[in-house]
C-alpha cells in the first residue's frame, strides 16, 4: 500500500508525497472517514469500496486524517495513525491518503473538500461512505451532498449501512466504552482484531525480574486511550511472531512510589529473549482482575502466581485464533 501524505503549494492545491510516483493520477474508488479502530463497520465500507473498484477498474484508496478531527480527544484513540495505516494495509487496499487536520482543512466547505481533496488530489471516480457520514465546515456535507456532486460530474457515490452486533450498531464510541470497562473480549469481536498497544520496550526498575517475573515495559502512546487498569491475558507480537503472555496495565501501586504515568508490563510465557530496545505489540485478550494495592511485595508475588495460572488456562482453552496481521 502506498501512503500519500500531503503538502500545499502556493496556489492552495494539495500535492502528494511521494509526488514522483506514477500512480498519483490514477482514477480511484475512495472510502472516506477517520476509521478509528478499523472495526467491522469500517471493514464493510472497505469491502464495498473494493467491490466498486473492481467493477469500475479503479485503484482502491482510504482517506483518513493524521491527527484526530475536532471533537476527538488526542488521548482517546483506539488506534494511532501508524496502527491505522497497518490495519488498512492488511486488507489489501492500494492507497491511503492522509490529511492533516489543520486550520486549512478544518475550514474547508463541503464544496472545497470535494473539489480540492476528492477531485484534484485523489482523482476520485467513486466515493464510498457510511450512511451517516458528514464532512466539511460545521459538518455541513453529507451523503446527499456527495450524491448531488457525483451526479454533476459523473462520479459514483455509494453509502453503506452500519454493521449491528446483538442489535446495537458497531461504532468506535462503543469500542471505547468497552476498553474503558476492560471488556476487551467484546471489543475484539467488534474490531475483528484485539485491542493493542505498540511501542519500544523500556528498561524500567526491573522489579518484575527480582520477583521472578521479568516483563517487557511499554508506555501507552499519548494519543491512545488507556484501558481499564488491571491484569489481562495477552499476546505479544515480536518480529512477526506471536507469544502467549500476561499483561498488567496501571500504576503498580504496591511497588511504584514515584512514576505517575501508566505502564504496560508484559511477561512472555516460557521465553527467554532480550526485549529492551525492541519494538513490540501487546494484544489484550481477556480481563482477569483489576489493579489493587497489596499489603506487601510477598502478597503481590503470590497473586501474580495465581494470575499466571488463570492466564495460562485461558490460553489453553481459547478456541478463536488471534488475528494479528495488521500489527506486524
C-alpha cell at 293: 494495592
Residue whose cell numbers read 500476561: 246
Closest by alpha carbon to 235, among 247, 223, 243, 227? 243
| Tens digits of residue pLDDT in 241-260 | 899 999 999 987 555 656 66
Q: Look over the chain and give the mean of its residue pLDDT values, rounded to a whole number.
A: 88
Residues 6+ apart with CB under 8 A from 209: 215
3-state helix, strand, coil in the chain (%, to 5): 30, 30, 40
Helix (H) or strand (E) segment spanning residue 266? strand 263-268
- Could you tell me the pTM of the whole model? 0.90
- pLDDT tens across 247-297, in order? 999 987 555 656 667 889 999 998 877 788 889 999 999 999 999 888 888
Q: Where are the beta strands (DSSP E) in 83-224?
A: 95-99, 124-130, 156-160, 164-165, 168-169, 195-200, 216-219
Instruction: Give the model confidence (pLDDT) of 46-105 as tens digits.
Output: 999 999 999 999 999 999 998 877 655 557 899 999 999 999 999 999 999 998 888 888
How much is the pLDDT for 12? 62
The full set of domains in the chain, from first to last, is 2-165 (3.40.50.620), 171-327 (2.40.30.30)
CA distance 173 to 178: 9
Amino acid at each position: 500500500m502506498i501512503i500519500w501524505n500531503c503538502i500545499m503549494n502556493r496556489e492552495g492545491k494539495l500535492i502528494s508525497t511521494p509526488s514522483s510516483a506514477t500512480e498519483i493520477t490514477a482514477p480511484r474508488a475512495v472510502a472516506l472517514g477517520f476509521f478509528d479502530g478499523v472495526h467491522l463497520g469500517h471493514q464493510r465500507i472497505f469491502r464495498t469500496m473494493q467491490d466498486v473498484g473492481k467493477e469500475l477498474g479503479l485503484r482502491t484508496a482510504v482517506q483518513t486524517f493524521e491527527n484526530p478531527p475536532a471533537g476527538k480527544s488526542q488521548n482517546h484513540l483506539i488506534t494511532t495513525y501508524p496502527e491505522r495505516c497497518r490495519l488498512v494495509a492488511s486488507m489489501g487496499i492500494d492507497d491511503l491518503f492522509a490529511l492533516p487536520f489543520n486550520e486549512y482543512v478544518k475550514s474547508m466547505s463541503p464544496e472545497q473538500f470535494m473539489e480540492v481533496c476528492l477531485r484534484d488530489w485523489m482523482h476520485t471516480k467513486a466515493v464510498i461512505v457510511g450512511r451517516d457520514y458528514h464532512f466539511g465546515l460545521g459538518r455541513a456535507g453529507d451523503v446527499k451532498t456527495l450524491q448531488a456532486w457525483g451526479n454533476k460530474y459523473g462520479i459514483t457515490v455509494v453509502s453503506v449501512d452500519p454493521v449491528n452486533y446483538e442489535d446495537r450498531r458497531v461504532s468506535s464510541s462503543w469500542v471505547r466504552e468497552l476498553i474503558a470497562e476492560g471488556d476487551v473480549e467484546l471489543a475484539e469481536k467488534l474490531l475483528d482484531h484485539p485491542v493493542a498497544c505498540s511501542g519500544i520496550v523500556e528498561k524500567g526498575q526491573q522489579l518484575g525480574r527480582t520477583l521472578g517475573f521479568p516483563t517487557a515495559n511499554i508506555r501507552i502512546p499519548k494519543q491512545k486511550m488507556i484501558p481499564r487498569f488491571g491484569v489481562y491475558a495477552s499476546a505479544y507480537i515480536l518480529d512477526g511472531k506471536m507469544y502467549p503472555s500476561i499483561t498488567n496495565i496501571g500504576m503498580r501501586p504496591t511497588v511504584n512510589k514515584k512514576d505517575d504515568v501508566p505502564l504496560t508490563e508484559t511477561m512472555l510465557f516460557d521465553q527467554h529473549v532480550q526485549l529492551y530496545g525492541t519494538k513490540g505489540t501487546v494484544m489484550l485478550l481477556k480481563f482477569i482482575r483489576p489493579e489493587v494495592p497489596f499489603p506487601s511485595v510477598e502478597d503481590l508475588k503470590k497473586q501474580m502466581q495465581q494470575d499466571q495460572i488463570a492466564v495460562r488456562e485461558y490460553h489453553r482453552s481459547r478456541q478463536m485464533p488471534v488475528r494479528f496481521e495488521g500489527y506486524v
